[in-house]
Amino acid sequence: MSAKEARGKDIKDTIDEDEIKIRLSDAVLFLKGIRWTIIRWAGAFFILGILYALSQQNEFIATVKVMPEHKTGGGSGGLGDLKSLAGLAGVNLDNLNGLSEAIRPDLYPDILQSVPFSLYLLNQPVTTLTSQKPQSLQSYLIEQDQKGITRFLGSLFTSDPDESLTTPSSGSTLRLTKLQETLVKDISQRVGAAMDKKSGIITINAQMPDPIVVATVASQAMDYLAKYVTHYRTEKSRKQVDFLKQQISDARSRYETAEFALSSYRDRNRSIYLNTAKIEEQRLQADYLLAQTVYTDLSKQLEQARIKVQEESPVFQILEPARVPLRKSGPKRTAIVVGFTVAGVIIGIAVALMRKFFFR
């Protein structure tokens, strides 16, 4: 590189440094000139942030950890070991045999996101930290919404309070009111579950503005899940039990009728030795023995069906029950105020720039 080129490069670098210094100095002067605008906007948003943070209700979180029963099909040793290893990797091989559960544990979270569950939960009684008087969860949520400063959903909660007592279902369909639709969405956001694919542990989470309510709701969600899965898995066997009970009732009636007919015939024909009389007695005795056999077999089947219902009933081992939280989980009021203040500073600078370049 020649001396002339080197001198030119030094001059260019000096000019670039001067331009940078000028730009930084201009920016500093500009910010000094609009500092009161920034302060006013930041102060206004600081106050708004405080008001908004204070308007937010405290939120508490309660969790329930449960380990559901996994059926592995004891007769297939090698397959059971393979399924155990696959389960650690998060792979489900239950469909390789006919002993898979009717509802897989990984579907349990979907149960707690269903509309019937939300409607069930809304009708459950709860008590608060400040009041031991039971009220439905629906009434509690409406009351909490009406206490807030921001009532942008207030128009949704002007329905008749007795609406909660009505059943929104008709056959296999659901017809929800605007109020119920809003509450169902609120419940689906506040209550949920997740499954750890490696350990198989189900974690139920609930979030509510009151520590007593949130612990109660978490327990109620656990109870609903256990009853739902138990009902689903044992429904076929329970129907079999009901069917056998009806059949046994009819068989018992036939058995008693045949027994009475045979006994009455023998009482009337004690001293008669005619072949026709013996044939009739044999026929009545055959009817009696048949009715007795049917009744006995059905009774055995009923006991087996009852045992099957018990065997198919799932076991939920609660690892961590719902506890009343001692500390709130939100809102983070300091972060809210800081966020509003930063937004005020940015808006103040933007307004000043618009005034300088667009409204001169």
Q: What does the DSSP 8-state code read for residue 59?
A: B
| Spans of all domains in the chain | 1-30, 57-233+317-330, 239-310
- Strand pairing category for 125-126 and 135-136: antiparallel
Q: What is the pLDDT of residue 223?
A: 94
Confidence class of residue 302 from pLDDT cuts 50, 70 and 90?
Answer: very high
Nearest to 119 by CA among 55, 183, 69: 183
Confidence class of residue 79 from pLDDT cuts 50, 70 and 90?
Answer: very low
Instruction: Give yes or no for a contact between 198 and 87, defined as CB atoms under 8 angstroms apart.
Output: yes
Q: What tokens were used for 264?
A: 């009455």
Q: What are phi and psi of 193, to 5 degrees?
A: -145, 155
Q: What tokens were used for 350?
A: 């933007």
Residue-wise pLDDT tens digits, 147-171 = 654 444 444 444 444 454 444 444 5
Residue-wise pLDDT tens digits, 88-126 = 545 555 544 444 455 788 889 999 999 999 999 999 999
pLDDT at 209 exceeding the cut of 80: yes
Nearest to 184 by CA among 172, 193, 174: 174
As beta bridge partners, residue 173 has 170
Query: How many H helices and E strands in the chain?
Result: 10, 8
Alpha carbons 43 and 340: distance in angstroms, whole number: 10
As beta bridge partners, residue 65 has 203, 320
Alpha carbons 64 and 83: distance in angstroms, whole number: 27
Confidence class of residue 241 from pLDDT cuts 50, 70 and 90?
Answer: very high
Fold of 57-233+317-330: Bacterial polysaccharide co-polymerase-like (3.30.1890)
Average pLDDT over residues 268-277: 67
Q: What is the pLDDT of residue 69?
A: 76
Alpha carbons 73 and 52: distance in angstroms, whole number: 57
Question: Cβ atoms within 10 A of the Cβ of 303, count?
Answer: 12
pLDDT at 188 exceeding the cut of 90: yes
Confidence class of residue 324 from pLDDT cuts 50, 70 and 90?
Answer: very high
